[in-house]
Amino acid sequence: MLKSQSPLTIFQTSTLSKALYHPPSPITFWIGMERTNQILAKITCGYTHVLALSTEGNIFIWGGNSHGQLGCNSRNDIHDPQMIMITPAPMKMLDVAAMKNMSCAISEEKLIYVWGNCFDQQIQIPVACEYTTLFDICNAMSARPPTTVKCFEQSEKATILNDIAKAFNNPSFSDLVIKIEQQSIYVYKNILQFRTSHFKRIDQFISFEDGQNVIRLNGFSYAIYNIYFKYLYTGNIYISDMSLEERFHLLRLADSLNDNRFKESCYRVIKKNITDENVFVLYNMAQKYSDNLLEKLCIQYFQENKPYVIQMPNFLELNEDVRNMFMDLPYW
């Protein structure tokens, strides 16, 4: 039950007994009271988990988490309401939905994020998907005929996107060359204009050289620029072969181009690639570059994997003050 200025009470629909996931005392997540100072606008439930959306656009989660449906990068149940961040950079959420062991939300950029048991995949971190409404994603999870129709539509979309991706860095499908020292990247002007505000007025960057339209760039390496322009074509960022230092260069490139969508995607990919072995290397780099968000992501990863991370050799190599700070953090 959701009541103004009162504690939050949950019942199971089948027995009207109190839900399985609750502390011994009444739930202390108050609505509009001192603990959160936030008003809950919506509550939605799956089989054993709960999502609550505040009027400020924040999402709170608790309950069962056997399929990662709480979106906290683990499968541990959570007994007390806890706020989660759906996107790497803070962003207001407009709506939430839950069903079975799956959760989804829509951001102010109108992107749909899903997590939990989605199409037989156990997704523990919210990821953006191709659906455009919460109804579509929930419908695809529950109704067979609409799902079949939707799959055909998505297959056609996938074919189109795949064809566009094949045109990247192909001189036969290019009217513009990006020059980084002696290396070239072949692109199409309209795709750059559509995909990023930095190149909306692209002609101001272009010079005419040897019969070609050329933009010369020199702030970063060819590899960094190649990843960015490939992202504009595909929406994907490929960092498996990149050093940790180069991954930070992607974030700096995003800042220099004022491309917040690319920066958000970089954070999402970097977060997915945090491991027990590299979390403290990333943390030290985040401090070096004053990247507060990545520091928080590293701390979050440590709290979720504390028993394993503290056994890593690089944990013992930390500065004693930093090591003690991490040890004082609670294990999630």
Positions in the chain whose pLDDT score sits under 50: 1, 3-4, 10-34, 144-152
Share of the chain above pLDDT 90, in %: 44
What is the reported pLDDT for 204? 93
Q: Where are the beta strands (DSSP E) in the chain?
A: 40-45, 49-54, 59-63, 78-84, 93-99, 102-107, 112-118, 121-128, 176-180, 183-187, 207-209, 212-216
Residue pair 233/192 in contact by the 8 Å Cβ criterion: no
Tokens representing residue 282 in the block: 């990333």
What is the reported pLDDT for 224? 96
Separation CA 250–CA 300 (nearest Å): 22
What is the reported pLDDT for 330? 84
Compute how many other C-beta atoms are within 10 angstroms of the C-beta atom of residue 308.
Answer: 10
User: For residue 76, what are the CA distances in angstroms to 21, 58, 95, 178?
Assistant: 12, 21, 24, 47
Separation CA 317–CA 223 (nearest Å): 31
Instruction: Report pLDDT digits (tens) over 17-35.
Output: 334 434 333 334 444 344 5
What is the reported pLDDT for 151? 46
All structural domains of the chain, each given as residue ranges with its CATH number in brackets, are 27-142 (2.40.10.360), 155-241 (3.30.710.10)
Instruction: Report pLDDT digits (tens) over 55-66.
Output: 889 999 999 998
What is the reported pLDDT for 129? 80
pTM: 0.53
What is the reported pLDDT for 319? 86
Separation CA 324–CA 212 (nearest Å): 58
Complete DSSP assignment for 45-98: E-SSEEEEEETTS-EEEEE--TTSTT-SSS---EEEEEEE-SSSS---EEEEEE
Separation CA 54–CA 219 (nearest Å): 42
What is the reported pLDDT for 332? 65
Q: Count how many residues are written for the chain.
A: 332
Q: Counting Cβ atoms within 10 Å, is residue 67 exposed (0-12), middle (13-18) or buried (19+)?
A: buried
